Structure 1
Amino acid sequence: MLTVKVILLLLWLAAVSSLLVTLFRRQVPQPLILILLGVGAALCGVHVGLRPELFMFVFLPPLLFADAFRMPLREFNTLRGPILFLAFGLVVLNTLLCGYVIHWIMPFMPLAVCFTLAAALSPTDTVAVSSLISGRHVPVRLLQLLSGEALFNDASGLVCFRFAMADALTGEFSYRQAFSSFLLVSLGGLAIGGLMAWAAAKINHQLLRRGLEDGRSQIVFILLLPFLTYAAAEAVDCSGILAAVAGCMVFKLSGAIEEAATTTRLQANTVWIMISYVFNALIFLFLGLQLPSLLSSATMVMQMRDAALWQYGILVAEIYGVMLVMRLVGVWLCIGVRWAAARLRHRPYRATGFAASLLLTFAGVRGAVTLAAVLSLPAGLDGTDIFPAREAVVVIAAGVIVLSLLGASMAIPLCLRFIPPELVDTAALEENAARQKLMNAALDVLRKIQNATIEPETGPQDATIMAESQVRHDVAERMIRVYENRLDAESADLQIKDVDHTTAVRRAREELALRLQVLRAERQLMRTMVAQSEINDQTEWKLQQELDYEEQVIHFQSMRLPHEHLS
């Protein structure tokens, strides 16, 4: 049971995990550290029961909403074929084919139960995928493919899981009924999420038109939107996950974010970053808290079968190997279809190497969603029928989750070594080009103002008019110099491919280092002024915010530089 002390302990462990990641120089993924901390807390007597329905409702909607917001819609449209195949087609194939293979490995387990286990293991966990590849310089295209897949395959996997579980409990199953129900659940979730987000955007627009704008209220309403869409879809037996994803995408397209005030957007971004960080950490901590009891259950299950615990490990490795092979085949199938489509349409095709295929395969991590699904299987405690072989399904799923996390944490860095780095960062070039166009537009406006002449009229106000015109001219001239300097810097970035790449990156690094050195000197002088009572703490806070924003800009610019030159 969650208490205030347990919640505070979990939040403290989440903060400690970040310190440990920094201590280990990011060599150990944060999800593994969080799981180990959760295991340690469980061994020390902290016990938290995982209620699957509550877990799904609390954690999935905001995290999926945030991930969907970070997914660029243009790239999603470009990669919609592979994304939808991996998110829907591969999940269904995994459920069917891997279910038969699992039944062949464990013939004592009913086929419907094997389908249930395969369905629970089919979707990749969006939280686990995002956490494992966070901070790593994964090629943008692969990153977008993984992010898009993870947004949707939770829903398809849970729908398949629901049908397989019903088959195992009742023995009644119809492929036609399952397919129609699958379409109804999926399309219904998308429709409900989209309509609710559209209505929320319209309401927000009307409030802004009437002058009822309050940044804090807007942020709270946006935070509640994914929960509302999820709850509404689940209330009519549709996919709440797809409702949350669709709601975010419709809300982005509605323009409600652009209508908000600048301060509201900045505050909302900070709030969402903190929520994503805390919720991501809590998910893996909850997973670690369950592992000791699941390991005890695994020992009991193997003893009932007169088998040793190491045989359980082999069984888990076999099932995980089957899922890996199936996913690799699906990835190669996507690559083959894209190659054939490019050849037929006579379009250029960027080949996906073997290392990239392996990265996409191992990045299919199973996580807390899989655990919550298998824990939701009926245990017979409330008078309902117990799910056949429930304990075996739960412990096998937990083992595959841990093994997939371990495999991905070791395989992803290894695969990245063999993937050639992107010589041209298309996202950075696009960003620089757009910034250059914006500055040129600003310069056009300023030059028009500067060149504007006011014909003096006869009258007593001529001197005042001329003075105002001169002031406007001087201010425009000063701003033109500022924008021209910025434009020169951006133009130099765009010409980076025309000069020696290593030298250009070294110059960019040196400039950022000097700017940080200047900022440190300014901060030190500001602290001295506070100590000598030249300024008060409120003035210090305002100046500190300006320096923080400037340092944040430097941080974003440093992220655009190639990683291999920053070590």
Structure 2
Amino acid sequence: MLTIEFILLLLLLTAVSSLITLRFRQKVPQPVILIVLGVCAGLAGMHVQLHPELFMFVFLPPLLFADAFRMPLREFGELRGPILFLAFGLVVLSTLLCGYAIHWILPVMSLPVCFTLSAALSPTDTVAVSSLIKGRRVPTRLLQLLSGEALFNDASGLVCFRFAMADALTGEFSYQQAFGTFLLVAFGGLAIGGLVAWVAARLNKMLTRSGYDETQSQIVLVLLLPFLMYALAESMGCSGILAAVAGCMVVKLSGIVEDASTSTRLQSATVWTMVSYVFNALIFLFLGLQLPSLLQSAHTLVLAQHVGMWRFGLLVVQIYGIMLGMRFIGIWLSITCRWAAARIKHIPFAATGFAASLLLSFAGVRGAVTLAAVLSLPTGEDGTMPFPTREAVVVIAAGVIVLSLLVASVIIPLCLKFIPAELVDKNAQEENLARQRLLRAALDLLRKAETTPAIETPPETDEDKAAIEAARVEVIARLTKLYQTRLEQEDATPRIALADRRNAIRHARMELALRLQILRAERQTMRELVAHQDINDQTEWKLQQELDYEEEVIHALAQRLPKEV
């Protein structure tokens, strides 16, 4: 049972893991450090029983929602073919072919049991993948391909797992029925997630227009949204994972982010960053906490079967090698199909080198989803039919998880050394282009302001009128010079300071008001860039945050000014 002290200790271990990662200069991946800390805590007497359904309900929806938000929609559309093949086609092929291979190695296990094990091992772990490649210079396309695959293959793997488990328990299986159910579960999850997100977006716009735009409540409601999508889809027998992913995509397209206030966007970004960080760390800590008991089960299993521990280790290596080889073949099959399609359509094709293919193969790390799946196998303690050779399946799956993490943490950095650096950083190009367009929009507005009379309270005397006009000209000239310098330096971001507050309050007010108009013009230009697909939504989000920070600074400076001159 999770107590307050236990949760606080887990959070402490999370913070300690970050310090240890910095101590090793990030040469050791943080997931490995978290697993080691979890094992140490387990050996020290900390024990927690992992409830698979509760585990997946608590951790998967928010993490998948956040990962889907970071996936650029334009690149997802461009890579949809290989992503869907790896996420669905490769998972099904791995379940079938690797199931037969495992049965050939372990004939004592029935074929349905082998299918169950291979189905549990087929999906990659999105948390593990993102944690292992975090902070490394991975080519953009490879990173987007891995992220897109990890969003969907959990759902396909768990569906295959349920069918294989039912076959092992009842002996009844129909490929036609399984295929139909698979489509229903997948498309049902997508439809439910999209519908919930659409309704939420409509309600949010109604509340915002009615004046109920409160930052804290909006952030809480958005945090609860993926849980609602997941729970509703699962209650209807559909995929909650796909519901959370599809819901996030609809949220991005609905414009909720753009309609929210600046304060809401800034605070929600901070909240989601912390939620992702803590939940990612807790997943690996829970995995480490389970390993001591799983090792004890492995020892008991070895004694019962009268085989050496080395044979069990060799079995884990063999199964991991089979899954790795199947993934490597699937990746090359995907590359071949893309090459053939490019030749037929007479379009350029960027070849994926051998080192990049190896990276994609070893990045197929198994993680907490696999462990939660095998731990959900019935034990028979509640009167239900126990799963055949359950302990062996759980122990083998845990061994493959740990081995895949350790191998990937060593091989991925080696692969990156042999992958040529990108000659052109497309994201950097887009960002520079967007910065220049935003700065030009600001300069255009300033040029219009030079010929537009100031809108202010009519002056009482001619001296006041002359002073206001002189102040306006001075402010416009200063801002024009500032934005022109920014444009020349492209990505320079000099700090803007107010003039002498004691002697030029009117100057400051005019400057802040004009800067707010500039921000609105820049946002409008940025929306046009996204609409014409000159930049993707990831670049938009990054620039949007910068504009939001600038607007917050302007509002803070405005509040410090006296109300009257």
Amino acid at match of 1:412: I
Per-residue deviation at 1:472? Answer: 2.2
Instruction: Give the aligned length.
Output: 498
Q: Return the alpha-carbon distance in structure 2 between the equivalents of residues 90 and 419 of structure 1.
A: 24
Once the two structures are superposed, residues 416-456 of structure 1 have per-residue CA deviations (whole angstroms, 9 ceiling, x without a partner) of 0000011221101110101110110110001110133689x
| Local SS of the residue matching 2:232 | helix
Q: Residues 17 and 34 of structure 1 are in contact (CA less than 8 Å); yes or no, is this contact kept in structure 2?
A: yes
Give the 5 Å matches for 1:290-369.
290-369=290-369
Once the two structures are superposed, residues 475-504 of structure 1 have per-residue CA deviations (whole angstroms, 9 ceiling, x without a partner) of 1111111111111111xx7xxxxxxxxxxx
Per-residue deviation at 1:471? Answer: 2.5
Give the 5 Å matches for 1:207-222.
207-222=207-222
In structure 2, what is the equivalent of residue 164 of structure 1?
164
- Is 1:385 the counterpart of 2:385? The answer is yes
Q: Return the alpha-carbon distance in structure 1 between the equivalents of residues 241 and 426 of structure 2.
A: 31
Q: Could you tell me which runs of 5 or more consecutive residues in structure 1 were left unpaired when the two chains were aligned.
A: 494-510, 519-548, 557-567
Q: Residues 83 and 145 of structure 1 are in contact (CA less than 8 Å); yes or no, is this contact kept in structure 2?
A: yes
Once the two structures are superposed, residues 76-113 of structure 1 have per-residue CA deviations (whole angstroms, 9 ceiling, x without a partner) of 00000000000000000000000000000000000000
Q: 1:459 to 1:88 in 2, by over 3 A?
A: closer
In structure 2, what is the equivalent of residue 92 of structure 1?
92
Give the 5 Å matches for 1:117-266.
117-266=117-266
In structure 2, what is the equivalent of residue 546 of structure 1?
none
Q: Return the alpha-carbon distance in structure 1 between the equivalents of residues 46 and 336 of structure 2.
A: 49
Q: Return the alpha-carbon distance in structure 2 between the equivalents of residues 22 and 219 of structure 1.
A: 31
In structure 2, what is the equivalent of residue 286 of structure 1?
286
Q: Return the alpha-carbon distance in structure 1 between the equivalents of residues 424 and 185 of structure 2.
A: 42
Q: Residues 155 and 239 of structure 2 are in contact (CA less than 8 Å); yes or no, is this contact kept in structure 1?
A: yes
Q: Return the alpha-carbon distance in structure 2 between the equivalents of residues 460 and 381 of structure 1.
A: 89
After superposition, the CA RMSD in angstroms is 2.1
Per-residue deviation at 1:381? Answer: 1.1
Per-residue deviation at 1:299? Answer: 1.1
Q: Return the alpha-carbon distance in structure 2 between the equivalents of residues 460 and 313 of structure 1.
A: 90
Per-residue deviation at 1:465? Answer: 4.7
Q: Residues 439 and 487 of structure 1 are in contact (CA less than 8 Å); yes or no, is this contact kept in structure 2?
A: yes
In structure 1, what is the equivalent of residue 502 of structure 2?
none
| Local SS of the residue matching 1:429 | helix
Q: Return the alpha-carbon distance in structure 2 between the equivalents of residues 227 and 460 of structure 1.
A: 61
Q: Residues 38 and 284 of structure 1 are in contact (CA less than 8 Å); yes or no, is this contact kept in structure 2?
A: yes
TM-score, structure 1 length as denominator?
0.85
Q: Return the alpha-carbon distance in structure 2 between the equivalents of residues 453 and 107 of structure 1.
A: 88
In structure 2, what is the equivalent of residue 438 of structure 1?
438
Q: Return the alpha-carbon distance in structure 2 between the equivalents of residues 465 and 168 of structure 1.
A: 88
Q: Return the alpha-carbon distance in structure 2 between the equivalents of residues 465 and 120 of structure 1.
A: 77
Q: Return the alpha-carbon distance in structure 2 between the equivalents of residues 149 and 230 of structure 1.
A: 19
Q: Return the alpha-carbon distance in structure 1 between the equivalents of residues 459 and 451 of structure 2.
A: 24
In structure 1, what is the equivalent of residue 53 of structure 2?
53
Q: Residues 38 and 288 of structure 2 are in contact (CA less than 8 Å); yes or no, is this contact kept in structure 1?
A: yes
Q: Residues 17 and 33 of structure 2 are in contact (CA less than 8 Å); yes or no, is this contact kept in structure 1?
A: yes
In structure 2, what is the equivalent of residue 399 of structure 1?
399
Q: Return the alpha-carbon distance in structure 2 between the equivalents of residues 215 and 208 of structure 1.
A: 11
Amino acid at match of 1:314: L
In structure 1, what is the equivalent of residue 371 of structure 2?
371
Q: Residues 454 and 472 of structure 2 are in contact (CA less than 8 Å); yes or no, is this contact kept in structure 1?
A: no
Q: 1:459 to 1:345 in 2, by over 3 A?
A: closer
Q: 1:206 to 1:297 in 2, by over 3 A?
A: same
Amino acid at match of 2:72: P
Q: Return the alpha-carbon distance in structure 2 between the equivalents of residues 151 and 241 of structure 1.
A: 8
| Local SS of the residue matching 1:2 | coil
| Local SS of the residue matching 2:429 | helix
- Is 1:30 the counterpart of 2:48? The answer is no
Q: Return the alpha-carbon distance in structure 1 between the equivalents of residues 25 and 183 of structure 2.
A: 46
Amino acid at match of 2:162: R
Once the two structures are superposed, residues 173-213 of structure 1 have per-residue CA deviations (whole angstroms, 9 ceiling, x without a partner) of 00000000000000000000000011001101001100111
In structure 2, what is the equivalent of residue 71 of structure 1?
71
Amino acid at match of 2:300: M
Q: 1:474 to 1:159 in 2, by over 3 A?
A: same
- Is 1:5 the counterpart of 2:5? The answer is yes
Once the two structures are superposed, residues 229-253 of structure 1 have per-residue CA deviations (whole angstroms, 9 ceiling, x without a partner) of 0000000010000000011110010
Q: Return the alpha-carbon distance in structure 2 between the equivalents of residues 303 and 13 of structure 1.
A: 34
In structure 2, what is the equivalent of residue 522 of structure 1?
none
Per-residue deviation at 1:462? Answer: 6.0
Q: Residues 88 and 152 of structure 2 are in contact (CA less than 8 Å); yes or no, is this contact kept in structure 1?
A: yes
Give the 5 Å matches for 1:505-524.
none
Q: 1:477 to 1:197 in 2, by over 3 A?
A: same
| Local SS of the residue matching 1:238 | coil
- Is 1:476 the counterpart of 2:476? The answer is yes
Q: Residues 449 and 473 of structure 1 are in contact (CA less than 8 Å); yes or no, is this contact kept in structure 2?
A: no
Per-residue deviation at 1:298? Answer: 0.8
% identical equivalent positions: 69
Q: Return the alpha-carbon distance in structure 2 between the equivalents of residues 454 and 148 of structure 1.
A: 51
Give the 5 Å matches for 1:466-505.
466-490=466-490
In structure 2, what is the equivalent of residue 498 of structure 1?
none
Q: Return the alpha-carbon distance in structure 1 between the equivalents of residues 72 and 256 of structure 2.
A: 17
In structure 2, what is the equivalent of residue 415 of structure 1?
415
Once the two structures are superposed, residues 9-32 of structure 1 have per-residue CA deviations (whole angstroms, 9 ceiling, x without a partner) of 100000000000000011100000
Q: Return the alpha-carbon distance in structure 1 between the equivalents of residues 244 and 186 of structure 2.
A: 12
Q: Return the alpha-carbon distance in structure 2 between the equivalents of residues 268 and 363 of structure 1.
A: 30
Amino acid at match of 2:77: N
In structure 2, what is the equivalent of residue 424 of structure 1?
424
In structure 2, what is the equivalent of residue 62 of structure 1?
62
Q: Return the alpha-carbon distance in structure 1 between the equivalents of residues 49 and 225 of structure 2.
A: 27
Q: Return the alpha-carbon distance in structure 2 between the equivalents of residues 168 and 346 of structure 1.
A: 48
Q: Return the alpha-carbon distance in structure 1 between the equivalents of residues 466 and 459 of structure 2.
A: 12
Q: 1:379 to 1:436 in 2, by over 3 A?
A: same
In structure 2, what is the equivalent of residue 505 of structure 1?
none
